[in-house]
Homo-oligomer: A and B are copies of this chain.
Amino acid sequence: MRVDLNADAGESFGAWALGDDAALLESVTSVNVACGFHAGDPSIIRRTIRLAARAGVRVGAHPGYPDLQGFGRRTMALGPGEVEDIVLYQVSAVLGMARAEGVRLAHVKPHGALYNQAARDPALAAAVARAVVSLESGLMLVALAGSALLQAGVDAGLPVAAEAFADRAYLANGTLAPRHLGGAVIRDADVVAARALTIVREGRVRTLEGADVSVRADTLCIHGDTPGAATLARVIRTALEAAGVLVSAPA
């Protein structure tokens, strides 16, 4: 039994700090580094890569929409060509900065609205996968379990990691319950840890409707902007390891 714990990092920008990367890095095994379009700037990207490398945490790129004010969370209608190009640009920038730091960039996980739209839209999903393939760097694509994006990665011959969310309720069709629904976001650390265990060991997760649905989880997402994220990460990791699960980044 093995699972990766991932969190977003490097989400500060200029004078503005966001998240507690140093604390999160003590518990997660992968980080997704914001690439400068929805968050992050060149100096913050570099510092985050250094920090992650020093903590022995796997580094990935976290490209998003060019929407700084909206933090990349607002749905935008970019065409597949535009999406391919912005992903290629952002991942290339972080890949080069990682190389300059002697760090291997290991994966790509789209951010926010891009992640959600590519999970549902096969054309956008294929565009993201094409961008990653064109870098020819052995990069792994991280995508929502069961999504069009995960499938696009497989179709493109990329190594992929299916992502699940222990702190989010699911719907019967295996997608995430929208945040505005009551019970969609689970905040109790012990409940989240218990769900994480069920996901990893039994491959299933409780839906909002009360039944279980199966889910594959190569990696579990820790939301770094949740208050108490670092504590939550530690609780989940401790629970997983106590149950004999190996918490580590994919090879």
Given A45-B89, A92-B97: A68 and B68 interface contact (C-beta under 8 Å): yes
Residues in B with CB closer than 8 Å to A39 are: 15
Pick the residue among B71, B74, B82, B135 that contacts A77 (CB under 8 A).
Answer: B74
How many subunits of this chain does the assembly comprise?
4
Q: Which 5 A-B pairs have the closest CB atoms?
A: A92-B96, A16-B16, A100-B134, A42-B85, A42-B89
A18 near B18 (CB under 8 angstroms)?
no
Given contact pairs A75-B77, A92-B92, A96-B135, enumerate 7 new A-B contacts (beta carbons under 8 Å).
A13-B69, A15-B73, A16-B17, A42-B86, A92-B93, A92-B100, A95-B96
Interface residues of A, count at CB 8 A? 48
Residues in B with CB closer than 8 Å to A15 are: 18, 39, 71, 73, 225
B135 near A100 (CB under 8 angstroms)?
yes
Residues in B with CB closer than 8 Å to A71 are: 14-15
- Per-residue CB contact flags for chain A residues 8-36 toward chain B (1 = under 8 Å, else 0) read 00001111111000000000000000001
Pick the residue among B14, B46, B86, B91 that contacts A85 (CB under 8 A).
Answer: B46
Residues in B with CB closer than 8 Å to A210 are: none
